[in-house]
A = this chain, B = another copy of it.
């Protein structure tokens, strides 16, 4: 006979999911109500307005897609790309490549702008591509690359796109809540995020926001959207205003309870305070990691505070270290992805997980495990550096 599942309690400092705030876990366990219940309509309205706050936007179409971040990405591409459309895609990590996959599956043409992994996107290269492709319809890029820990200058890239008459699709999966995401100020057109990064929610939903220009483009399509489930023409009818919503699909009610609570927590703290907290804990972690002899792959001024990619010291079995951290300390850190597999660790400090307790655990546990490989680690130096960083 199968028995109930009881997960080991971990500290989640990988690239996401990150530690979930207990208030959110409790919210997800509240009694389920119907997806047409007046209470649920109120929940939807509150989520929309809380998401507008988080994204710093007045876009009406600001809603959670009922599936994980990859489906949020797909929502943007299947609704905006039509066969034959040219899409300029910036690639500086794994998620740029995934964007390209999305475009070709819709019959679009990809103009790839290659950038170094671990670096911000170079606006000069992007402008070159836009200039060379005056018929391009969309510029797509990742604001915060989860695979490398680098962020790019979204404001400049969106401005460039406008200059060359392109819509923008911007991946804010890892940035939302951790650093400034201000999509109206940027002038971004289609933005998607995830719940399991700096919102500290369980994975499973993908907040999106579409500008009026993007909505107009969806409405003016010449071909039907290939996905019925993600067709915003239908989804808008469900998430629309008032009580006259058209049934589309059954919403993931309890997951939405969780997202609502996560957004309330973010609103209580305030966006700026949340970004500052991410930075403070990042600086303390950085002090500890550097004292352990680990170095960041991203230059300081392009570095995400919530995703710390560091190189692996010579002679260290990176998989064995992660395994020991998990088994001995119940601490999860992330491996490298794609071109960086085996070359880096990715240490997340996202949302609720961005706190001194996690920083101290991580640095101290790494000191203990790495000490078994490297006699040169000065005992106590890394934790002292962390303490000093918090002392300011």
Taking Cβ atoms with an 8 Å cutoff, the residues of A that contact B are: 1-10, 12, 14, 16-17, 19-20, 23, 25-40, 43, 46, 49-50, 66-71, 74, 78, 98, 101-102, 104-106, 194, 196, 202-204, 224-229, 247-255, 257-258, 260-261, 263-264, 267-268, 326, 332, 337
A-B contact pairs, 14 of them (CB 8 A): A1-B267, A2-B263, A7-B30, A9-B31, A10-B31, A17-B33, A66-B204, A69-B249, A71-B229, A74-B227, A204-B253, A226-B226, A247-B337, A254-B255
**Given A4-B260, A5-B27, A102-B228, 17 new contacts (CB under 8 A):** A2-B46, A2-B267, A3-B264, A4-B27, A7-B33, A8-B37, A14-B36, A17-B32, A17-B250, A20-B32, A25-B29, A25-B254, A29-B29, A32-B196, A38-B326, A67-B229, A202-B253
Pair B69/A67 contact, Cβ less than 8 Å: no
Pair B46/A228 contact, Cβ less than 8 Å: no
> How far, in angstroms, from A33 to B40 measured CA to CA in the complex?
28
**Across the A-B interface, the 7 shortest Cβ-Cβ residue pairs:** A204-B252, A29-B29, A67-B67, A70-B249, A202-B254, A226-B226, A25-B29
- Whose C-beta in chain B lies nearest to the C-beta of A247? B337
Most B C-beta atoms less than 10 A away, residue of A4, A66, A337 = A4
Interchain CB contact (< 8 A) of A10 among B34, B101, B247: B34
Residue numbers in B under 8 Å from A264 (CB-CB): 2-5
Please give the distance in Å from A160's CB to the nearest CB on chain B: 26
Interchain CB contact (< 8 A) of A5 among B17, B194, B202, B260: B260
Residue numbers in B under 8 Å from A326 (CB-CB): 37-38
- Whose C-beta in chain B lies nearest to the C-beta of A46? B2
Interchain CB contact (< 8 A) of A28 among B4, B9, B254: B254
Interchain CB contact (< 8 A) of A34 among B12, B37, B43, B253: B12
Pair A105/B227 contact, Cβ less than 8 Å: yes
Pair B226/A106 contact, Cβ less than 8 Å: yes
With A1-B267, A34-B14 in contact, do A101 and B228 touch (Cβ < 8 Å)? yes
Residue numbers in B under 8 Å from A203 (CB-CB): 32, 35, 250-253
Residue numbers in B under 8 Å from A39 (CB-CB): 7-8
Pair B105/A228 contact, Cβ less than 8 Å: yes
Pair A31/B27 contact, Cβ less than 8 Å: no
Pair A17/B34 contact, Cβ less than 8 Å: yes
Pair A25/B31 contact, Cβ less than 8 Å: yes
Residue numbers in B under 8 Å from A74 (CB-CB): 227-229
Please give the distance in Å from A270's CB to the nearest CB on chain B: 11
> How far, in angstroms, from A2 to B267 measured CA to CA in the complex?
8
- Whose C-beta in chain B lies nearest to the C-beta of A26? B29
Residue numbers in B under 8 Å from A16 (CB-CB): 250
Pair A224/B104 contact, Cβ less than 8 Å: yes
Please give the distance in Å from A32's CB to the nearest CB on chain B: 5
> How far, in angstroms, from A368 to B239 measured CA to CA in the complex?
34
Pair A332/B37 contact, Cβ less than 8 Å: yes
- Whose C-beta in chain B lies nearest to the C-beta of A250? B203
